[in-house]
Amino acid sequence: MGNQVEKLTHLNYAEVPTSDPNGFDPDDDGPRIGVSYIFSNDDDDDQDDNLDHFSSDSRAVSHEEKPFDPQDELECAIYYREECVHERSTGAATHSPESLLNKCRPGDLLEFVATGQYPHWAVYVGDFQVVHLHRAEIKNNFLTDVSQGKKGRIVNGLYRYRALPPEVIVRNALDHVGSRDRELYWRNSECFAAWCRFGKREFKIGGEIRIGKQPYRLKLLFSEKKSHVLEFQSLEDVIMEKRRNDQIGKDAVMQELANHLNATHEIKEEHFGSPHPSG
């Protein structure tokens, strides 16, 4: 049974109720996608085979890695009930690791990005070093080593929660260095880094009780006139889906959604005939 659970992915929308992707109104009570996922534990770190050993001479980049393409980044927002708790706009500048070092202050959240890979998050703790979750262990390494040649950016403002004082953020990160495997309370590097900065239990594994309600909404913005909304039971689930979208890119998400909506429309017509207006 355990193996079956781990094989569940986000890619199968076949049994998920859906709605038209055009337009979004936070106050609208119309139908939206309802999603609940079971996740295997880890996502971003499996992509980075070169991160096994951090040293000044181990910065080789995977042959499959492509430079980050901001045009393929999907703009999105996360809502908890009616409150926007996260928002990413496209076009945010990225910097080389060396340039990023000159901009960092202790307590900053960093995101390293490359096309086709999950973004990797870390907490800058000073002295050119970051603390991050990688391969089921929380580690303290030099920023330039963790970047592995990827460009990065400071992402303090993506989540709209109140940040803890810088010294508390740094202490949160350093206190967990060396934690691994069953000692971990976070599914990926983003959840860990965000918890360090904001201290909210929602970023932890099992931090929210799933009782059937879906108070979180992930709004995907494809253009000014085209968007789509997914619903989730917990912030942890939203983050997993958001990161998957970051990894596959905007174009792939649009194609995946279009294929699903077409298939759903055909299934409804075949089994239920033409849809009737709701009363």
Residue 98 lies in a domain: yes
Check: CB of residue 233 under 8 Å from CB of residue 210. yes
Residue 28 lies in a domain: no
Is the pLDDT at 169 greater than 90, yes or no? yes
Q: Residue 9 — very low, low, confident or very high, per pLDDT cuts 50/70/90?
A: very low
Residue 180 lies in a domain: yes
Question: Per residue in 182-233, pLDDT tens?
Answer: 999 999 999 999 999 999 999 999 999 888 889 999 999 999 899 999 999 9
Residue 38 lies in a domain: no
Residue 166 lies in a domain: yes
> φ, ψ for residue 195 (rounded to 5)?
-65, -40
- Per-residue pLDDT, 217: 98
For the domain that residue 190 is a member of, what is the CATH number? 3.90.1720.10
Sign of the dihedral defined by the CA atoms of residues 176, 5, 46, 9, in that order:
negative
Say which range, 43-57, 121-135, 152-166, 212-226, has the weakest mean pLDDT. Answer: 43-57
Count how many domains the chain has. 1
- Per-residue pLDDT, 267: 55
Give the range of the structural domain holding residue 123, as residue numbers without chain letter: 70-260
Sign of the dihedral defined by the CA atoms of residues 83, 20, 247, 8, in that order:
positive
Residue 51 lies in a domain: no
Check: CB of residue 97 under 8 Å from CB of residue 152. yes
Question: Per residue in 50-99, pLDDT tens?
Answer: 444 444 344 444 435 577 888 889 999 999 999 999 999 987 899 999 99
Residue 197 lies in a domain: yes
Residue 48 lies in a domain: no
